[in-house]
Structure 1
Amino acid sequence: MPFVRIDLPAATPADEAAAVSGAVHESLVAVFNVPADDRFQVIGRRAPGDLVCTPRYLGVEHGDKVVFVQVACAPGRTVGLKEALYERIAREVARTTSFAAADVVIHLVETARENWSFGNGVAHYAVQDRTRPS
């Protein structure tokens, strides 16, 4: 059920954008045990100046080409799993694209399951939760 937003520089070639998308999704499948067919992403390309990233923060040196990844998902995963996800996404993006691992900035947003609809105006997980015994 993760919903992913990926923001890239406008000059990012289509194959690199697809590689970032794939690296994020494959990392979610491997680390967070997300079903392989649970893929919801918005990929945006941003004009110069639209992606702002400080050159140095918390000991990380950022280049002039950064990718922002925001993952909205249900709460409940451990800090260790989150750390493993961040590491894997950064590593796989760096391995499959020209982005450096240091330039992969990730933001995880946890939201309750009843806040999701996957179509037809149905709160799919809220309906599911009402059928579970208390």
Structure 2
Amino acid sequence: MPLVRIDLSATRPPDVRRAIADGVHQALVDAIGIPAGDRFQIVTPHAPEELIFDPEYLDVARQDVVCVQITLVAGRPTELKLDLYRRIAAHLASAGVRPEDVFVTLTENALDDWSAGNGLAQLVDRGGVVGVPAAHAPR
């Protein structure tokens, strides 16, 4: 059950913002295997001067950054994460975002760090999470 925050320039129109959100979600479905209905996203437009990203750090030529922050349960292997980054960049390119402008960060936590409502820890109660291979499942 990832929680996705997308911060981007308010100069991107609402239909493009939605296409970006759709692209990130599809990448999560394709790379990590979350169910299509497992969608929790917060899209926040900002004035361009509120997004401060170095234009050349690590030799990436950034112009109009779309920052994607994904919080998810720990346990996925590096290869899966790398595939996720590639898929996000590819899907966002379809929405008109340059791959150089796609900035992604993952924050991992445990099953008991989530409550999807009603004051319950649904992931703990279910004993696992979709998209984490059994060999990598949190213990």
- Normalised by the size of structure 1, how large is the TM-score? 0.91
Structure 1 position 88 matched with structure 2 position 122: no
What does residue 116 of structure 1 align with?
Answer: 114
Q: How does 1:69-88 map to 2 (within 5 A)?
A: 69-88=68-87
- The size of the alignment, in residue pairs, is 128
CA deviations on 1:61-84 (whole Å, 9 max, x unpaired) are 111x11000011111111111001
CA RMSD of aligned residues (A): 1.3
What does residue 107 of structure 1 align with?
Answer: 105
> Which runs of 4 or more aligned residues in structure 1 lie more than 2 Å from their structure 2 counterparts after TM superposition?
126-129
Task: Report the alpha carbon displacement of residue 59 of structure 1 after superposing the two structures with TM.
Answer: 1.6
Provide the secondary structure at the position in 1 that maps to 2:104.
strand
Gaps of 5+ in 2: 128-138
Structure-2 separation of matches of 1:47 and 1:113: 35
Structure-1 separation of matches of 2:93 and 2:57: 19
Letter of the 2:66 counterpart: V
CA deviations on 1:1-48 (whole Å, 9 max, x unpaired) are 000000110111111001100100000000000011000000000112
CA deviations on 1:81-121 (whole Å, 9 max, x unpaired) are 100100110111012x2220110000001010111011111
Structure-2 separation of matches of 1:5 and 1:122: 23
Structure-1 separation of matches of 2:6 and 2:108: 17
State the identity %: 41
